Amino acid sequence: MALFTGRKHGRTASRAVVAAIAAALVATTAGTAVADGAASAKDAAAEARQHVKPKAKDQQRSAPYASGFGATNESFELMAVDGDGFLYNYPSNGQGGFGERWFNTYGWTSISEATQYDNDKDGRADGFYVKSTDGHLIYKNYDTGTRDLGAGWNTYDRVFTPGDLGGAPNDDLLARDKGGVLWLYTAKGDGSFTNPVKLGAGWGAMTKIAGRGDMNGDGKADIIAVDNAGTGWLYPGTGNWAAPFGNRVKLGGGWNTYNTLVGIGDLDNDGQADLVGRDASGGLWFYSGTGTTNGAPFKDRVKVGTGWNGMRLMF
């Protein structure tokens, strides 16, 4: 299959049909819908569907299912929300790019952030967290349903999970508050968290914080952060919830080329965690992971699409 360009597939009529269907669904549920942002965010999250083939019942966790390509690392489908609040899934093509997108659901206009997680460590996403525009955090599990974890999350301007940071089985949450302080929420199995741990100040200097899984080959989840000058930094994970990151490693300049960085695991089937970035013109770039600790966690970037500037959220 050819690499997906990121442009909207189908004719204008197809988009109109989807919009009409969405409008009809909204009309039929108007009696139960609530104008409150948290309620609509929870409803929208509840409607999202899982796309990847379910894991076979006899498949062992030691052999993760990774978007159907058999990699030994996590590999999630890229999920993206356009300006109309339509949610789409983009399956990996196993070569760093994406195949044909599919329409997932609608109504995501009240959602400001989203991040996928894999708590059972089978290599595929179990669901996601979303933050509503009024500050509620919603937990979605494809098997067990959707929960509102409460309000107050608008204290944070960045909320995402790079994986298991604290050494427990579940994926933990990083949250940066508006004063530039980074906090760790260690996750429980039901989607809730222990009390947050303050990791340090000064993170307001970072324009982007992203990552998913082990990017330096030591088996621990890492993150990438980009400072105001456009310098990229790798923060290696330690597996210790009290001090989850070791000394940072400088990756070089030019990272402010991207307005979005997304980590969704291994996208080219080599067992290493990768990264994708969207530039200001809507171009999508793929960084294949090397799994090394020598300060070069990625190979040279490869352009894998255009037209992605129509997406309000990518996760």
Predicted local distance difference test score (pLDDT) of residue 10: 40
Supply the pTM of this predicted model: 0.84
Report whether pLDDT(32) > 70: no
The region of weakest confidence among 12-26, 41-55, 189-203 is 12-26
- For residue 34, pLDDT over 60 is answered with no
% the chain with pLDDT above 70: 80
Q: Give percent above pLDDT 90 in the chain.
A: 76
Please give the average per-residue pLDDT across 176-182, as a whole number: 98
For residue 189, the model assigns a pLDDT of: 84
Mean pLDDT of the 113-119 span: 97
Taking residues 110-130, report their average pLDDT: 96
Average pLDDT over residues 177-196: 95
pLDDT in tens, 207-243: 999 999 999 989 999 999 999 999 999 999 999 999 9
Q: What is the per-residue pLDDT across 233-289, written as a single tens digit (0 to 9) for each?
A: 999 999 999 999 999 999 999 999 999 999 999 999 999 999 999 999 999 999 999
Half-sphere exposure of 143 (CA within 13 A, CB side): 11
CB 162 within 8 A of CB 175: no
Residue-level pLDDT at 114:
98
pLDDT of 82 > 60? The answer is yes
Query: If pLDDT is split at 50, 70 and 90, which confidence band does 33 have?
Result: very low
Confidence class for position 292, pLDDT limits 50, 70, 90: confident
> If pLDDT is split at 50, 70 and 90, which confidence band does 293 have?
low
